[in-house]
Structure 1
Amino acid sequence: MTTPQVLLLSPIPADADAPENALRASLRFVPPTEPILTAFDAGAGRGDGIFETLGVSDGRARGIDAHLARLEASAVKLDLPAPNLAQWREGVEALLDALPSTGQASIRLVITRGTGSGPTCWLTGTPVASDFPERTDGIRVATLSRGYANDVGENAPWLLVGAKTLSYAVHMAALREAKRRGADDAVFTSTDGFALEGPTSSLILRQGNTLVTPAIQHGILAGTTQADLFSFLESVGFECVYRRIPVGELLQSDAAWLVSSVRLAAPITAVDGTAILTDLALTARMNAALLA
């Protein structure tokens, strides 16, 4: 089956120990053309909600536990009802059964604040036809200021940095600006001179035998794909470090990547028009590990 799948979820309280048949009964497949939101849903009207996107390879979803944990953490940040993780896991498994057993796909989990009577929840499963040439050809990035300092997450938690919210207008605007500058993607920077992350991806740098990513306590969304890669890289002898990264290190490192759940590891080939070093052999190993 190559058409997108839509699965509505009727929320079960997080502390309810629901039996498997009740979890299954709370899920309902609907045609992808069937409307599932009212015009008054806070997710549509205000972007007030959260989501997660899982990559799927040959019928297996990557990082289910990590994505569910991040969904739960985002719900806390937005004062949304805690998700019943067993119920959402059942939804992921139902979509995996409905999606093709070979090739790549994506699964998205969405919770909005709804219309006032409770959250609106659904999952989608979409086969991915792209072969992602960026994994081998690389991407050019532009550095774009996010407009606040590196420690904003600690000083202004109401800005929701570190939560994966539906409010992606700024992220999409950053991608459009990067393209206007002749780049393929962007790396956000802080006003005090640190590299942060991409609009839809995590940043990783290689410096000798050490792989570095920005520390998540400084307004960075915890990257599930980045965490998977760090586990793999440590297993093959690399040192992996979380710390603040001055913007200048983008040009001075031995290699750099933007990594995400569906595109996986895309090597950065240029920063603001300046070519940088790449490591295509390590890129291939990283992507092979993720796909496996």
Structure 2
Amino acid sequence: MGQTPKITVVGSINMDLVTITDQLPKMGETILGQQFQMNPGGKGANQAVASARLGAAVQLIGCVGEDMFGKELLQHLNSEGVDVSHVEQVSDQTGTASIIVSKKDNNIIVVPGANNHVTASFVEAKREVIAASDILILQLEIPLEGVQKAIEIAKENGVTVILNPAPICELPADVLTKVDYLTPNEHEYKHLTIDDNRAELIGKVILTKGSEGVSYFQDDEELNIPAYSIDVVDTTGAGDSFNAGFAVALGKGLPVDAACRYGNAVAALSTTKLGAQTGMPTDAEVQEFINKTN
């Protein structure tokens, strides 16, 4: 693939508190788990790290707390090659995600904390960073007003916008119509109010379907890009990995179908290790994987 894309991610930065167990506890029940880990996470940080590992020049815009987690996460992101000069420490707790991994799937509870400070005015102050990007990646673990402002700045400056609508919430029509690509999973897609804008949106939706791959519409025809078959250890971060792979491939000039295939390969490899960011592959690993499976 070609040039190094400039990707800006505006989004959440969390510490993931991961518990591995054979079964989920019932309400009021206490059970014993097998393992506990603290891993860097947050959908924004995940997508930034994944994009950097794939060779993009990545700027992350967000907030962490002035606590131990915040300091650790900034050091980690910097070590991964993510530019964190636009991540600010605020007087709040760093965001956390409590994740229970059971039977190769997961349940997640997010406490946003410092991520709630990524407001419209905060994002406006980062206007020049967004305007200088090739691709802007957004999610919904920060206030919606921050997402809207980032989209507004990007569209004023000809920047391609990818919105990963997770966790799903009611989205205004202007958000849906202004983005270039929407990347929901099947659960999120069902909750998107797109009927009034279906004609305009149908070419923007890149629907991720886990083991069934990815589908999208092109010239009124639904196309499906199959997933790669792989032994899954942990699906945490797979969606974030796909979004990063899709964004990097688009930024390098690939068409949508090739970008989806590349994103699928990135997502597949990300599931082979425990934790969101720990399993994210490099471009060299992805290319080797694609060559072996084709």
Q: TM-score per shorter chain, which class?
A: under 0.3
Q: What is the TM-score normalised by the length of structure 1?
A: 0.27
- In our comparison, the structure showing a higher alpha carbon Rg is 1
Higher helix share: 2
Higher strand share: 1
Q: What is the TM-score normalised by the length of structure 2?
A: 0.27
